[in-house]
Amino acid sequence: MKNLNTCAQIYHKLDHKLTPLSPFSGIYYRISGGDPSGRSGRAEIFFDDEWGTLCNTDWGENEASALCRQMGFHGGDPIDGPFKVPAKGLVYRSMYQCRATSQSLSDCPHSGWQEAKDTECTDHQNDAGVFCYQNGENTI
């Protein structure tokens, strides 16, 4: 297994946010490929020893808000790509079912992380994205 501490240190130095699903799960999320502030970009997951993206199938406002809250923002909205930095790795289909009150993606029921096999998701054209807002902001 790759050293997650090293990975987390690298992203900390780059001022990116990296948050675990739970302290012992080995599953991490990040927002990548967007603006330098880390407020917007593609939703990515570290799963099964590699980074991948999430397909935007069933990705809506509740899911985007949950990821943004998990990253320390007030909330967020889903956005479409293309993103500034091209994605690499697998695309996962997970079909999250977050509520408006979900504080993180770990609070949301989902179907597990299966590699997307359909052409709708496999080429990173439909990666899930977010725009996160700070306290006091409420829309993009």
Instruction: Kindly list the distances between the CA atom of residue 83 and the CA atoms of 35, 56, 87, 96, 108, in Å, as whole numbers in the listed order.
Output: 9, 13, 8, 22, 25
Kindly list the domain boundaries of the chain, sorted by start residue: 4-133
Write out pLDDT tens, residues 92-130: 888 899 999 999 998 899 888 778 887 778 888 899 999
pLDDT surpasses 70 at 140: no
Segment 78-90, tens digit of pLDDT: 998 878 888 988 9
Alpha helices of the chain — where are they, by DSSP H?
4-13, 61-70, 119-122
Q: Specify burial of residue 107 (Cβ count, 10 A radius: 0-12, 13-18, 19+).
A: middle
User: Do residues 15 and 25 lie in contact, with contact meaning Cβ atoms separated by under 8 Å?
Assistant: no
- pLDDT bin (cut points 50, 70, 90) of residue 19 is low
Distance CA 70, CA 55 (A): 19
CATH number of 4-133: 3.10.250.10
What pTM did the predictor assign? 0.79
Q: What is the pLDDT of residue 13?
A: 33
Query: Percent of the chain scored above 90 by pLDDT?
Result: 37
65: Cβ contacts below 8 Å, ≥ 6 apart: 75, 76, 77, 98, 100, 102
Q: Which residue do the tokens 């289909």 mark?
A: 93
